[in-house]
Structure 1
Amino acid sequence: MYRISDIKTRELLRNFSDWIQYEKGLAKGTADAYLGDLQRFFHQSSATALSLSTQDLRAYLSELGRAKKEPSYLARVVSSFRAFFDYLVRVEKVRMDNPASEISKPKLPKRMPETITTDEVQRVIRCAFTESRRNDRTRNWALMSWLYSSGMRVSEVAAMNVRDLKYESGLPRSLKVIGKGNKERLVYVSENAGKALRQWLDERSTLHGDLTPDKRSDAVWVHRRHGSLERLKTRAIQHICERCGNYANLPFRLHPHMMRHTFATAAIRNGAQLHAVKDALGHESLATTGIYLHADASDLEKLAESLPNVIC
């Protein structure tokens, strides 16, 4: 916990935290990151929310740079200060200027999304069933199938409720998802993912009892902890994903976001429209989804082979 000496600054930070979560609809993780950036600065600075200048902020960023902080972290710090002082100007109306508006974010290197191959996906999903403990194997199999087939964020998967599932021909094939910024979207999955989830729901009912929403938990993904039924948290799903990757002998650590990247890349490679992938992922703009339009070695080889055969 950071102790900030200026009472007014503490009050404004609390108000800002509430505003970005409940009024702006930012994800809790993003809101917490912004607040943490601001609290760290004001904890060690003599500047206050009302007195901070552009020079103060530049000096702080230079200090972070000397401490070898990553450009992505520095960019987020700038975003945190921009958002906070924009709030003070527009909402609280306690400042006339935004001292962060003149500061540019560092350029970030473009990173290709990490994906796994179709063969690796098949191995991971198969091993989720064959290598997991008996009471967990159907759940893990359905979970990994759903992660790949839906492209959902791990936090969205953890938040899934039985009552939100939509059925087609007896299979759970879609649901409404509340994503970043409290934006709602509809997500569809493949028939195989629907079959896997139906099998898990049937087994879940046998293992853990009635699934109706008026019971203690309506969560899709659950486990027993100290005798009580609990929703699988994001961290638990990350651990399951990592274990399934180990079962499949992947030479790297598998994480849920890699499954999301793989879903998007595979969808585009198989002819899905960029707009459809954008909506499925819950992206704000096509520019974000455009990172999946990358070429791999096989694409480049096909491109070379497609050229007219001329003698050099």
Structure 2
Amino acid sequence: MLIEAFLDYLRYERNYSDKTIKEYGTDIAQFRIFVQGEDTEFKPSEVQSGMVREWIISLMDQGLASSSVNRKLSSLRSFYKFLLKRGEVKVDPLRKITGPKKNKPLPVFVKEVDMDKLLDETDFGEGFAGCRDRLIIETFYATGIRLSELIGLTDGDIDLIASTIKVTGKRNKQRIIPFGEELKKSLTEYFNIRSETVPVKANAFFIKENGEKLSKGLVYNIVKKNLSKVVTTKKRSPHVLRHTFATTMLNNEAELGAVKELLGHSSLAATEIYTHTTFEELKKVYKQAHPRA
């Protein structure tokens, strides 16, 4: 039988493990039953692409993850390559078949009420460090900039008169991000306290008390420590605040194209993931509020 010959080939010529061979055998047997039943002789040459697609759909309908479906397709591809090599089939029915895409996890973000609690009610400590740490959180949340972009800011990038920040993103691409009165007030306060505390002329906007530029690790820890005060999620990083900015903007009816430009995304597809996040939030609200949900 062709399936047995294929499994022998995997065992003796490819030296696959018994576990892997068993998985291949199970996958191909399942496909055989799907297309021709248990009692009918399996004829791989009669299989067409449409049958493979129907099998994929049936597997997805059963609730199998994309990774599991793709693994089964991989088994079937190997089987048909073996058959082509032996001349048992003339056409590979999987040659134009693509497996289901893996589901990307939705971005983790902080709810607006928790961000308000963090920025309005949380004690960041006195003096320069407390002012700086709070401003770091607020800047991430108000602008959506990346960690590397925040560290790279200089005094010249901050325009308090125009209320804009010039950001240098990936591939040295620059963009201008506007900000509101609240962030302007915080930036002004930081400028003043920094000039009093740090006598050395700094090259970077966000610095340590000795005038040195902040490291990525230090900023990451500042964000993680302070987000821990209001959320219990595992992810508490600067990127979570970037996700929070985008989600908050869309939840408050900002246009997708505008959010794309503010984030510095090269394509709209990268920004669209946040529309899924906002829709998931709508579903939660619906289920909580509607008596028939």
Class of the TM-score when normalised by the shorter of the 2 chains: 0.5 to 0.7
TM-score norm. by structure 2 comes to 0.59
In terms of fraction of residues, the more helix-rich structure is: 2
Q: Aligned in 2, Cα 1:141/1:305: closer, same or farther, shift over 3 Å?
A: closer
Work out the CA distance in 2 between the residues paired with 1:167 and 1:184: 18
- Give deviations 1:180-213, integer Å, cap 9, x for gaps: 1221111122221121111111100110126xxx
Task: Tell me if the contact between 1:151 and 1:264 (Cα under 8 Å) persists in the aligned partners.
Answer: yes
Match of 1:179 among 160, 166, 169: 169
Task: Tell me if the contact between 2:124 and 2:134 (Cα under 8 Å) persists in the aligned partners.
Answer: no
Higher alpha-carbon Rg: 2
Which runs of at least 4 in structure 1 moved beyond 4 Å after TM superposition?
104-107, 299-306
Work out the CA distance in 2 between the residues paired with 1:108 and 1:158: 33
Aligned length: 196
Q: Does 1:275 align with 2:257?
A: yes
Q: Deviation of residue 131 (structure 1)?
A: 3.6
The corresponding residue for 2:208 is 223
Q: Deviation of residue 302 (structure 1)?
A: 4.5
Q: Deviation of residue 110 (structure 1)?
A: 1.5
Q: Name the amino acid aligned to 1:143.
A: I
Q: Aligned in 2, Cα 1:304/1:249: closer, same or farther, shift over 3 Å?
A: closer
Unaligned residue ranges in structure 1 (runs of 5+): 1-58, 60-65, 72-103
- Give deviations 1:8-34, integer Å, cap 9, x for gaps: xxxxxxxxxxxxxxxxxxxxxxxxxxx
Q: Name the amino acid aligned to 1:291.
A: I
Q: Aligned in 2, Cα 1:297/1:280: closer, same or farther, shift over 3 Å?
A: closer
Q: Name the amino acid aligned to 1:282.
A: G
Q: Aligned in 2, Cα 1:105/1:299: closer, same or farther, shift over 3 Å?
A: closer
Q: SS state of the match for residue 211, structure 2? A: strand
TM-score norm. by structure 1 comes to 0.56
Q: Does 1:239 align with 2:221?
A: yes
Q: State, as a whole percentage, how many aligned pairs show the same letter.
A: 27
**Pairwise mapping of residues 6-85 of structure 1 onto structure 2 (< 5 A)?**
none
Q: Name the amino acid aligned to 2:116.
A: Q
Q: Name the amino acid aligned to 1:185.
A: R
Work out the CA distance in 1 between the residues paired with 2:158 and 2:126: 26
Q: SS state of the match for residue 136, structure 1? A: helix
Task: Tell me if the contact between 1:277 and 1:289 (Cα under 8 Å) persists in the aligned partners.
Answer: yes
Match of 1:116 among 99, 104, 110: 110
Q: Does 1:248 align with 2:248?
A: no
The corresponding residue for 1:39 is none
